[in-house]
Amino acid sequence: MKDSIIYLKENLHNISFSDVKVLASSVPIKLSNKEKLSEIIDILSSDKRKNVLSLAKKIETSIQKEEAEYIRVRAMYMFDKQFSNFRYVAGVDEVGRGPLAGPIVGAAVILDFNNLGDIILGIKDSKVLSEQRREELDVIIREKALAYSITVCDNKQIDTLGIAHCNNKIFLDACKTLPIEPQLVLSDGYPVRNLNKPNKFVIKGDAKSASIACASIIAKVYRDRLMKEYDSIYPGYGFKDNVGYGTQKHVDAIHAIGTCEIHRMSFLNNILSKK
């Protein structure tokens, strides 16, 4: 890496732009590389070529975005860290409350708030992330979390017990199955009933709390993968694309071929009445 920077500095005016790009990209855009990236920017800025100067500006903008992202995510970690009188703080969230088919999935995550130099950049409400980014973050969260758990209530339970009961049940089960027992639970949107330990519910928690955001992401990745598996078992409804939500294609399929084993019949009264 250092050799690339030295070579770039010594040969900048004698090499092609494509070679300049290769050498500059040898240093990944990360805050830990800020000093080296600043050196590269200074080197590129000494060139008169517009494309080289544009590359310097692009790298500078990327560093600024990385810094802004660090500040945003660090604030989410600090939100959770304010409860540092509790040794282990878990964030819980659910995915799949509203679909016409499939389970509701809950997750709980305990993060390490003693090392804010190694925070997980990119975490936020799972619904606003691309599928690829969620998949990437899912791996990182599972690696860096002190503990996590995922729980499920299937469509049969939802029809029998009701969605509100199942929503609370997966929160409870996620907390109870964590390999580390939390002393405080931060829940997204709703208090967790019958938890028997301190609980703070946070409105829009997946935008404010790092642990809730992480729970949101791993729950969504788990559920989306499950719905893609169901798509091959129950073709025709578009589960791999709509993950069970009531898109027009999904509703049309219900009218055309009927319901399947994973449909929430208690959610379909209005749809079936119009058949």
241 is in an annotated binding site: no
136 appears as a binding residue in the annotation: no
For strand 184-188 and strand 199-202, is the pairing parallel, antiparallel, or unpaired?
A: parallel
Cβ-count burial 61-100 (b if 16+ within 10 Å, e if not): eebeebeebeeebbebbebbeeeeeeebbbbbbbbbeebb
Q: What are phi and psi of 264, to 5 degrees?
A: -90, 100
Strand partners, 187: 92, 201
d(CA 209, CA 113): 12
Q: Which residues pair with 201 in a beta bridge?
A: 187
188 belongs to an annotated ligand binding site: yes
Q: What residues form the annotated binding site?
A: 93-94, 188
Q: What residues form the annotated binding site for a divalent metal cation?
A: 93-94, 188
